[in-house]
Amino acid sequence: MCSCLATLIVPTADDSPTKVNFHKLLLSRCQKEFQKEKVDDVAFETKPKMLYSAASTERDRLQVEPEEAKDITQKRFIGNIKLLCELFKHKMLNDFIVHDCLDKLLRNNDEVALECLCILLTTISKGHTCDETKMDHYLNSMEDIVTEGKTSSRIRYMLQDTIDLTLVH
Residue 32: its pLDDT value, please?
A: 82
Going by pLDDT thresholds of 50, 70 and 90, the confidence category of residue 94 is: confident
For the stretch 7-55, pLDDT in tens is: 666 666 666 667 777 777 778 877 788 777 554 554 555 555 555 555 5
Q: Which whole number is the average pLDDT over 69-92?
A: 87
Q: Which fold has domain 21-168?
A: 1.25.40
Domain boundaries along the sequence of the chain: 21-168
Give strand pairing partners of 10.
20
Residue 39: its pLDDT value, please?
A: 46
Q: How far is residue 83's CA from residue 24's CA, in Å, rounded to a whole number? A: 14
pTM as predicted: 0.73
The number of C-alpha atoms within 13 Å of 168 and in the hemisphere containing its C-beta is 8
Q: Which whole number is the average pLDDT over 120-138?
A: 81
